[in-house]
Amino acid sequence: MFIVHSTFKVPDEKADEVIDIYKNRSGLVDKASGFQRFRLLQNAKRDGEITVEIEWDSKKDYLNWVRSAEFKHIHDLEKKYPDQELAAVIPEVKQFEVVID
């Protein structure tokens, strides 16, 4: 299993707006080969620190997703988000290979 975390920081007062965006996400990633699970995590001490966690069957499946037209489409939409402060956020991405489950 392969897990990817994309963590981004927004002003605390915009956390609910970001959460609402993800509540209405397209779900395209859910249809990708090797996709297992999507989670949205909110830091328990800082509302504006949010992590997207996606589980994959393998690193290869994740890399295929990142190279896909669907991935590009979703990220192009993010750049056009009306709130330019949110559109400009760049996440910190960490990748994990599950070694014991």
pLDDT digits (tens, 9 = 90+) for 39-59: 999 999 999 999 999 999 999
This prediction has a pTM of 0.89
> Is the confidence at residue 85, as pLDDT, over 90?
no
Class of domain 2-97: alpha beta
List the domain boundaries for the chain: 2-97
Question: Which range, of 29-38, 40-49, 84-93, averages the lowest pLDDT?
Answer: 84-93
Integer Cα distance of 23 and 19 in angstroms: 6
Q: Torsion-angle region of residue 34: left (phi > 0), alpha (psi -120 to 50) or beta? A: left
